[in-house]
């Protein structure tokens, strides 16, 4: 999984996630097309929500704290295809691994199990 984070100063402007086989260093970086994989598109969507969450819950007013919290959250995807959902205990639901991560505990959940 490749994660591209676009920053403007110390503010996260955009995040997008791609599969390992979707990057081609010869053609340059494509900033506009979505991933061909549903899992990566879902994580991109979750990352956008996480960016907003960490930006608006940052009470220290230090932009570096927002980036640090976001990167810690992003690191929780390290074992994306190995961790089971904390609610249902299954690895796959509807053919997808648990793509949602809780903002505080970083626990993995399927998108439909998070509520």
Q: DSSP code of 21?
A: G
pLDDT computed for residue 36 by the predictor? 93
pLDDT tens by residue, 2-41: 899 999 988 899 999 999 888 766 667 777 789 999 999 9
| 41 torsion bin: left (phi>0), alpha (psi -120 to 50), beta (else) | alpha
Bridge partners (DSSP) of residue 2 are 18
pLDDT tens by residue, 61-90: 787 888 999 999 999 999 999 999 999 999
Residues in the chain, total: 115
Count CB-CB contacts under 10 A for residue 94: 8
């Amino acid at each position: 999984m490749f994660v591209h984070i676009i920053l403007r100063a110390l503010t996260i402007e955009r995040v997008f996630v791609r599969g390992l086989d979707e990057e081609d260093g010869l053609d340059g970086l494509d900033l506009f097309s979505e991933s061909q994989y549903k899992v990566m598109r879902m994580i991109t969507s979750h990352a956008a929500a996480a960016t907003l969450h960490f930006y608006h819950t940052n009470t220290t007013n230090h932009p570096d704290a927002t980036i640090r919290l976001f990167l810690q959250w992003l690191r929780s995807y390290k074992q994306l295809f190995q961790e089971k959902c904390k609610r249902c205990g299954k690895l796959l639901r509807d053919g997808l691994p648990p793509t949602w991560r809780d903002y505080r505990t970083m626990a993995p959940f399927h998108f439909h199990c998070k509520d």
